[in-house]
Amino acid sequence: MELKPGLSALVTGGASGIGRALVLALAQKGIFITVVDFSQENGKQVATLAEKEVSKFHGELEFPPVLFIKCDVAVSSELTAAFKKHVQTYGGLDICINCAGIGNPIPFYKDETDGSKSWRRTVDINFVAVIESTRLAIQATQEAKKPGVIINVGSASGLYPMYAEPIYSGSKVVHTLSHNFRSATSVVRAPLRLPLQPDHVLLKIIYAGVNASDVNFSSGRYFSGGKKDIASQLPFDAGFEAVGIIAAIGDSVKHLKVGTPAAIMTFGSYAEFTMVRSKHILPVARPDPEVVAMLTSGLTASIALEKAAQMDSEKSVLVTAAAGGTGQFAVQVLKAEFPKGVDIVYESVGGEMFDLCLNALATYGRLVVIGMISQAGFFLVQYAHLWQEHLDKLVDLYSSKKLKVALDPKPFLGINSVADAVDYLHSGKSVGKFQGISLPSLYT
């Protein structure tokens, strides 16, 4: 809509903050305005300022160019009366901006009241009143039989944690050592500890990757020491890889920004929010499920073929389990970068397949073994300094359509579905790499 003199606008929460700024901006365009707010003092003040601006565009008027109406937007009758007064004064409604909002005066987890003056009132003003105001605005434009604009102003704290308020996070935690992931883990809820430590980053997880080795982690096979020593470290956070959005950063983090899509490959990825050191953040272009597939699986293939196999365009290569999570990447990386491409065997099956591959090696050939708990084979953690470089390469190959990412289509939603996803992976029914467990926020 083109903003021009003579249009009319109603702004809730217009006496302060963003609402006040919007009122004054509209006034500078010569638009008639109704300021709706609970604060009479602030409301009258901004109305006076706005009236001076609007009057510059109009001569003598038979009605006030700006109205202030004291109103509790949570009270339906008061809000209805405000809209009625606006329409009677200006003959219709062109713009409605819902900007009224308050913070919860009592931390939710400490609130022992019925909520009528705390969380329940916050919901009534920030949510219910917005719906009611939108309904009234639609009704006003329909009665006038002309189009209008409705703008509902939200807060960044609807997307990212608000430091002044506790935000709860759900995470999947290993509480006992067992190869049975379901029995070894449980979902816990804990408050995020804010503000962050200076060198830490808070990541809102959007997709978490599922790996066959999750059961090795839950049984303690990735930790040194005896079973009693490992058990003494319980509980520990599960999940190896995820992609999401940076929600907050510590004071000393200068190279990253809030809102940046990023991936991580650290313990604790089965969570709605996770805090990690900034050095573990891998910036990406988009927080897509394909990126999750490029982490453990894609990076293993890319780095192993380059560093361990030392392949070049003259080598012939055999890839076992080529339809699996990491095998699919190895095949395509080879085709994309070494189209002439058994001098190299990329082996991720084991057993008799390992013996066959070993016997099939050419003189001076290389056998790259993936997935050995003993770390005698290729171990991705030893190449952490190359993760960002190779992840960027994989994303470029994917963007240029030289790399395809096969994702299993079966959806899994939320922290409570993690055990189901791990069971599904080990059932042998999955194809390619999981599309990732989608982890929406559970706000309270």
337 with 268, same domain: the answer is no
24 with 145, same domain: the answer is yes
User: Amino acid identity, residue 274?
Assistant: T
pLDDT at position 140 over 90: yes
Classify each residue of 181-211 as buried b or exposed e, where b means 16 or more C-beta atoms within 10 Å of its C-beta: beebbeeeeeebeeebeeebbbbbbbbbbbb
Does residue 159 sit within a domain? Answer: no
**Of 154, 182, 204, which residue constitutes the final position of a domain?**
154
pLDDT digits (tens, 9 = 90+) for 396-433: 888 888 888 878 788 888 888 888 888 888 787 776 66
Q: What is the DSSP letter of 253?
A: -
143 with 17, same domain: the answer is yes
Cα–Cα distance for residue pair 48/60, rounded to 1 Å: 17
Q: What is the pLDDT of residue 165?
A: 46
In angstroms, what CA-CA distances link 278 with 190, 250, 254, 323?
22, 9, 10, 34
Q: What is the pLDDT of residue 119?
A: 80
**Of 154, 178, 203, which residue constitutes the final position of a domain?**
154
pLDDT at position 341 over 50: no
| pLDDT confidence band for 443 (50 / 70 / 90) | very low
Q: What is the pLDDT of residue 441?
A: 47
275 with 301, same domain: the answer is no
Look up the domain containing 69 and give its range. 8-154
Q: 17 forms bridges with which residues in the sheet?
A: none
Query: Tokens representing 120?
Result: 């329940």
414 CB neighbour count, 10 Å cutoff: 14
Does residue 177 sit within a domain? Answer: yes
44 with 118, same domain: the answer is yes
Does residue 421 sit within a domain? Answer: no
150 with 176, same domain: the answer is no
Least confident of 140-144, 347-351, 384-388: 347-351
Does residue 88 sit within a domain? Answer: yes
55 with 193, same domain: the answer is no
For the chain, give the percent of residues with pLDDT over 70: 75
Cα–Cα distance for residue pair 390/265, rounded to 1 Å: 14
Q: What is the pLDDT of residue 300?
A: 81
203 with 140, same domain: the answer is no
Cα–Cα distance for residue pair 7/96, rounded to 1 Å: 11
Least confident of 60-64, 103-107, 140-144, 372-376: 372-376
197 with 245, same domain: the answer is yes
Residue 166: asked if its preceding bond is cis (omega within 30°), the reply is: no
pLDDT at position 340 over 50: no
In angstroms, what CA-CA distances link 93 with 150, 292, 335, 396, 442?
10, 48, 62, 50, 37
| Sequence-ordered strand ranges (E) for 6-136 | 8-12, 32-37, 66-70, 95-98
182 with 249, same domain: the answer is yes
263 with 336, same domain: the answer is no
**Number of structural domains in the chain:** 3
442 or 21: which carries more pLDDT confidence? 21
Q: What is the pLDDT of residue 346?
A: 72
Query: Tokens representing 83?
Result: 């809209």
| pLDDT confidence band for 223 (50 / 70 / 90) | low
Cα–Cα distance for residue pair 161/194, rounded to 1 Å: 9
Q: What is the model's pTM?
A: 0.54
Q: What is the CATH number of the domain that holds 270?
A: 3.90.180.10
pLDDT digits (tens, 9 = 90+) for 275-318: 999 999 999 988 888 888 888 878 887 887 787 777 776 676 66
Would strands 344-347 and 317-319 be described as parallel, antiparallel, or unpaired? parallel
Does residue 231 sit within a domain? Answer: yes
311 with 331, same domain: the answer is yes
Does residue 329 sit within a domain? Answer: yes
Q: What is the mean pLDDT of the chain?
A: 80
Query: Tokens representing 246?
Result: 């940076």
Does residue 78 sit within a domain? Answer: yes
Q: What is the CATH number of the domain that holds 103?
A: 3.40.50.720
Does residue 410 sit within a domain? Answer: no
**Of 266, 287, 308, which residue constitutes the final position of a domain?**
287
Contact 16, 42 (CB under 8 A): yes
